[in-house]
C-alpha cells in the first residue's frame, strides 16, 4: 500500500502547481487517449472473434486456427491434451507373464508419446497429462483425448476391437460428436480394428469429463484388448498412435469423414 500512497501524494502536489491552461491541455490529451483505446479495443474485438461472437479463441472455426501451417505463430496453433491412462496413479490392467506381463499404463504411455510426436510434427501443441493431472481442472483446449487399453482377460464374445465414449457434459455436444466420428473412422482405418459400440459406465462417467472446461470436446478411447489385440498394442504402437493422431487432425481440420476412406 505504500507505493500507491506515494503516487497520490505526488499527483496532488503536482496538480497544485498547475495552471488552468495546463489542466485543459491534459484533459484533452486524456480524452484523445481514451477514444484511441476504445477504437483499438473495438477493432481487436471484431477481428479476433468470428461473426457469431460466441466462439472462444480455442475453437477451430476461425480460419487462422484451421490452417496452422499457414500461420505458424504460437497464438494460432491448435492445442490438444492427451491423458495417458493410469499414468501417475496405477498400472491399469496387467497381463499374466504367459501373455507377456504387459501393464496397461506402459502401453498407454507409449501410444500417447508417439501420438504427441505425430501431432507436434503437424504444428499442434500437445500437453501430455497424468490420469489425475491438476491441469485437468477447467482444462481448455481444442480437444482432449484420454488413452486407455482394455482388459487382458480372455473374452470370447468381445474378441477384439476399440471403444470410444465422449463427454455428455459438454456445452458443445456437436463438437464432441464430431471428434468421436473422426476418431472412429481414422482409428479403424489405421489399425484395422473394428469399433465396438458398447461403452461402459466407466467410460461415460469418466472423471476427466467432469473436470475439463465445458467448452473442451473430450473423448476416451479403449485402443484395443490387451489379450486379443496384444500384438497391435505392444508391437505396432505406431499404427495405434497414427489412428489417434489422424482422428484428432480430422476433427481439427474439419476433414471429410467417408466410411471407405
Ligand atoms: Zn484403463
Is residue 133 situated within a structural domain? yes
Let me know whether 232 and 196 are in one domain.
yes
Residues 232, 127 share a domain: yes
Protein residues placing their CB within 5 Å of the ion ligand 1: 85, 92, 148
Predicted model pTM: 0.71
Rounded-to-integer distance, Cα 223 and Cα 81, Å? 17
* Domain with 104 in it: 63-252
Distance 77 CA to ligand 1 centre (A): 30
- Do 13 and 124 lie in one domain? The reply is no
CA of 151 to the centre of ligand 1 (A): 8
Task: Give domain status of residue 105, yes or no.
Answer: yes
Task: For strands 143-150 and 79-84, give the pairing.
Answer: parallel
Ligand 1 centroid distance, CA of 94 (Å): 10
Residues 99, 145 within the same domain: yes
22 plus 85 within the same structural domain? no
On whether both 137 and 169 belong to a single domain, the answer is yes
* CATH number of the CATH domain containing 192: 3.40.630.40
Q: Give φ, ψ of 80 to 5 degrees.
A: -130, 140
Task: Report the C-alpha gap between 135 and 133 in whole angstroms.
Answer: 5
| Same domain? 143 vs 89 | yes
Distance 201 CA to ligand 1 centre (A): 13
Range scoring the smallest mean pLDDT among 4-8, 128-132, 178-182:
4-8
DSSP states of 165-177: EE-SS-S-HHHHH
User: From the CA of 18, how far away is ligand 1's center (Å)?
Assistant: 72
> 178 falls in which pLDDT band (50, 70, 90)?
very high
Instruction: Verify that 38 and 104 share a domain, yes or no.
Output: no
Give distance in angstroms: CA of 149 to centre of ligand 1: 6
- H-assigned helices in 68-172: 104-121
Percent of the chain at pLDDT > 70 equals 69
- Same domain for 84 and 42, yes or no, is no
Q: Are residues 227 and 99 in the same domain?
A: yes
| CA dist., res. 9 & res. 203, Å (int) | 62
When divided into structural domains, the chain yields a total of 2
Taking the centre of ligand 1 as the mean of its atom positions, its distance from the CA of residue 141, in whole angstroms, is: 22
DSSP 8-state class, residue 194: P
Answer yes or no: is 57 within a domain. no
Do 197 and 88 sit in the same domain of this protein?
A: yes
Residue 105 has pLDDT above 50, yes or no: yes
Amino acid at each position: 500500500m505504500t507505493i500507491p500512497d506515494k503516487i497520490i501524494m505526488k499527483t496532488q502536489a503536482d496538480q497544485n502547481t498547475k495552471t488552468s491552461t495546463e489542466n485543459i491541455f491534459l484533459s484533452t490529451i486524456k480524452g484523445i487517449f481514451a477514444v484511441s483505446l476504445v477504437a483499438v479495443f473495438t477493432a481487436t474485438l471484431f477481428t479476433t472473434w468470428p461473426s457469431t461472437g460466441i466462439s472462444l479463441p480455442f475453437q477451430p472455426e476461425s480460419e487462422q486456427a484451421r490452417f496452422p501451417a499457414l500461420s505458424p505463430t504460437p497464438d494460432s496453433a491448435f492445442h490438444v491434451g492427451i491423458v495417458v491412462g493410469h499414468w501417475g496413479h496405477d498400472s491399469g490392467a496387467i497381463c499374466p507373464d504367459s501373455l507377456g506381463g504387459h501393464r496397461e499404463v506402459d502401453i498407454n504411455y507409449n501410444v500417447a508419446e508417439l501420438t504427441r510426436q505425430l501431432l507436434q510434427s503437424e504444428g499442434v501443441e500437445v500437453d501430455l497429462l497424468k490420469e489425475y493431472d491438476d491441469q485437468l481442472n477447467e482444462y481448455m483446449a481444442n480437444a482432449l483425448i484420454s488413452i486407455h487399453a482394455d482388459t487382458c482377460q480372455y473374452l470370447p464374445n468381445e474378441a477384439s476391437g476399440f471403444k470410444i465414449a465422449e463427454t455428455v457434459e459438454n456445452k458443445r455436444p456437436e463438437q464432441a460428436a464430431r471428434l468421436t466420428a473422426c476418431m472412429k473412422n481414422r482409428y479403424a482405418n489405421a489399425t484395422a480394428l473394428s469399433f465396438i459400440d458398447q461403452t461402459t459406465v466407466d467410460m461415460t462417467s469418466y472423471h476427466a469429463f467432469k473436470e475439463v472446461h465445458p467448452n473442451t470436446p473430450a473423448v476416451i478411447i479403449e485402443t484395443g484388448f490387451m489379450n486379443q489385440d496384444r500384438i497391435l498394442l505392444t508391437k505396432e504402437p505406431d499404427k495405434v498412435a497414427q489412428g489417434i493422431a489422424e482422428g484428432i487432425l480430422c476433427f481439427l481440420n474439419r476433414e471429410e469423414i467417408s466410411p471407405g476412406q
